[in-house]
Amino acid sequence: MADYMHGFQVKVHPSLEDFELLATVSQMLTLFDQERVVEQVIELMIKSVEAEGSSLLINPEFGDDWRRLFTRYVSNATGMEDPGQTVRFARRVLDKGLAGWVIANKQGAIISDTVTDPRWLAFPDSDSTTRSALSLPFFWNGAVLAVLTFTHSEPDHFTDYHLRLFSIIVNQATGAIRNAQLFAHLLEQRQQMEAILRAIPDLLLVLDQSGVIMLANDAAAALVGTAELPNRGEGLSILDYVADDDMFSFVHSMLDNVPTPGNSWSFQSRSEKHRRDYLVTVSPWAQSADATGYVIMLRDITTLRDLNRFKDEMLQMASHDLRSPLALIVGYCSLIELDTPEDSPVREYLNVIERSIERMRGLLDDLLRVEQIRNSPLELHQPADYRELIKTVLADSTDGAQRKHHQLETRVALDDLPERITLNAMLIRESMDNLVSNAIKYTPEGGMITIQAYTEGKRVYFVVEDTGIGIAKEHLPRVFESFFRTRQSGTEGIEGRGLGLSLVKTIIERHGGEVWVESEIGQGSRFGFWLPIQ
């Protein structure tokens, strides 16, 4: 059914062609090719309404994401093209023309005759013959993203029916474009993630609850043996490769014991097939509400293990092979000293040799002690009286402080501490003594040393504060490193091997605690540690 007005056919009900248009557009909007969706939809609309011109103007309030989706178009005899020559008019049209009115009023509009309608902006130097126009907004979240305008050289070419029909199409197109945009973002992120996973040197495997490989980077696929398979073996079960390599023996127990997502555990494993050592980290992830998958990260530590074995061999050599010649040197020095007159300068030379040998022995003892503590079993920890440890350390430190006329102050607040806590009493006392003796060593005569012990929550603290020479700010991050000693004014005559604080750090960390230092040149230092109350 159609009505006739002013000699034109005015459509008021949908025709078969309109339904075909809607069906075609709906099929196109299921595509994710965002660069072509807008163009093809507009071309169909142009043909449907027999428009002679068209333009798509972007609302300047929206950013690049939408600008990439909406390309400015204008129609000519051959189709749609980028109207570079019209860009300079776009701003004025958006401000004062029909597109600006659509944005401001958030609704479509029809101009029956551009000569009499004030919403149409005519340019004096334009040769346009436009007499009628139809303008439609692209909406997203209540805002106008862009304005699509069709034009014709005859008045009254566009009708309200066209406005309603095209409004439906444009609304569908906006949602489809947004879906295409989101899909493109997800695809881009996935490609970036895959590139990152392929590039990392660590081996990464993602398994589902049954042990099926969901993702394997190149390094992991090479280890498992699926590098030549499609998608690097994704979809195959890791259990098929357990028998081929002993290092995956943990997979069986892992799949049988479902852990809580968020927790993870690490351990070392060796591949005899590839003769490599790995640090394995397994992290569960919630695959679904009732299924837990696994992320397995393997870091090749073969070089570190080789270095560690070399270090152990060197320590054994230092312990056994160096002690014998040192003992011989000391013995011969003693023999030479027996035959040397009391007033001979040779005796001083011999004393220098003996002192140097003692320093070498002390260095060997400290090295072996640090290593023994690092590898000592935690079973050596026993219940001990923490207060008695502090009393012993204070008693042992009194003579050294008095010789340098130090004022020794103690602040002990351990009322909340249990009578006995679990620790290695000998090692903790050695750590306390090391901090106190360092304070005495690096504090000039007449200085003050404050020793504090207190509890806070589930921790017990031990802090030693002095008014000594202090430590430069740039040296603070390294003071607990083995063999590191600060070289600054005031330390020239102070002996040391640079292992004491390293020993303290090792002991405290083996107990599950933490050490720290605060210091400033000329203002003194504050060393401390805390231990968990067990």
- pLDDT for 29-79, tens place per residue? 555 555 566 677 777 788 878 888 888 777 767 655 544 444 333 334 333
Task: For residue 145, give the nearest of 153, 156, 137 by alpha carbon.
Answer: 137
Q: 2-185 — its CATH code?
A: 3.30.450.40
Homologous superfamily, domain 378-532: Histidine kinase-like ATPase, C-terminal domain (3.30.565.10)
Residue in the block written with tokens 């498992």: 224
| pLDDT at 363 (0 to 100) | 72
For residue 370, give every residue at least 6 positions away whose Cβ sits within 8 Å of its Cβ, in sequence order, or none: 482, 499, 502, 503, 506
Find the angle CA(290)-CA(267)-CA(380) to the nearest 5 degrees. 120
Three-state DSSP at 112 gives coil
Helix, strand, coil tally for the chain in percent (to 5): 45, 25, 30
Domain ranges, ordered by start, for the chain: 2-185, 201-300, 304-375, 378-532
The mean of the pLDDT values for the chain is 77
Find the angle CA(487)-CA(493)-CA(497) to the nearest 5 degrees. 65
pTM of the model: 0.43
Distance separating alpha carbons of residues 366 and 245, to the nearest angstrom: 41
For residue 131, give every residue at least 6 positions away whose Cβ sits within 8 Å of its Cβ, in sequence order, or none: 113, 114, 115, 152, 153, 154, 155, 157
Distance separating alpha carbons of residues 499 and 485, to the nearest angstrom: 9
Residue in the block written with tokens 């004025």: 92
| pLDDT at 89 (0 to 100) | 63
Sign of CA dihedral 424, 429, 435, 437: negative
| pLDDT at 75 (0 to 100) | 39
Check: CB of residue 152 under 8 Å from CB of residue 132: yes
| pLDDT at 516 (0 to 100) | 93
For 38-169, list the strands marked E by DSSP.
Answer: 53-58, 74-76, 79-81, 109-111, 132-140, 143-152
Would you give the distance in Å from CA 488 to the centre of its chain? 38
For residue 49, give every residue at least 6 positions away whose Cβ sits within 8 Å of its Cβ, in sequence order, or none: 134, 150, 157, 158, 162, 166
| pLDDT at 154 (0 to 100) | 92
2-185 and 201-300 agree in CATH topology? yes
Largest alpha-carbon pair distance within the chain?
140
DSSP assignments along 491-527, one per residue: -TT----S-HHHHHHHHHHHTT-EEEEEEETTTEEEE
Task: For residue 353, give the nearest of 331, 368, 370 by alpha carbon.
Answer: 331
Distance separating alpha carbons of residues 416 and 61, to the nearest angstrom: 63
| pLDDT at 19 (0 to 100) | 56
Q: Could you list the pLDDT tens digit for every one of the 534 residues in the chain?
A: 344 333 344 444 555 566 566 666 666 555 555 556 667 777 778 887 888 888 877 776 765 554 444 433 333 433 333 444 445 566 677 778 888 898 889 899 999 999 899 998 887 766 678 899 999 888 877 788 788 888 999 999 998 888 888 887 777 777 766 676 677 778 788 888 878 877 787 888 888 877 788 888 877 787 777 767 777 777 777 777 766 777 777 777 777 665 555 667 778 788 777 788 888 888 887 766 677 788 888 888 888 877 777 777 776 666 667 777 888 888 888 888 888 888 888 888 888 888 888 777 777 776 676 666 666 555 457 888 999 999 988 888 888 888 889 988 999 999 889 889 988 888 898 889 889 988 888 888 889 999 999 999 889 999 999 998 888 888 888 888 876 667 666 655 566 566 778 888 888 988 889 999 999 888 889 999 999 988
| pLDDT at 54 (0 to 100) | 82
| pLDDT at 499 (0 to 100) | 73
Q: 201-300 — its CATH code?
A: 3.30.450.20
Would you give the distance in Å from CA 341 to the centre of its chain? 71
| pLDDT at 132 (0 to 100) | 92
Taking each helix axis from N to C end, the angle separating 323-338 and 346-375, rounded to the nearest 10 degrees, works out to 160
For residue 480, give every residue at least 6 positions away whose Cβ sits within 8 Å of its Cβ, in sequence order, or none: 501, 502, 504, 505, 515, 517
| pLDDT at 32 (0 to 100) | 53
| pLDDT at 258 (0 to 100) | 56
**Buried (b) or exposed (e) across 474-499, using 16+ Cβ within 10 A?**
ebbeebbeeeebbeeeeeeeeeebeb
- pLDDT for 399-426, tens place per residue? 888 888 998 899 999 988 988 998 888 8
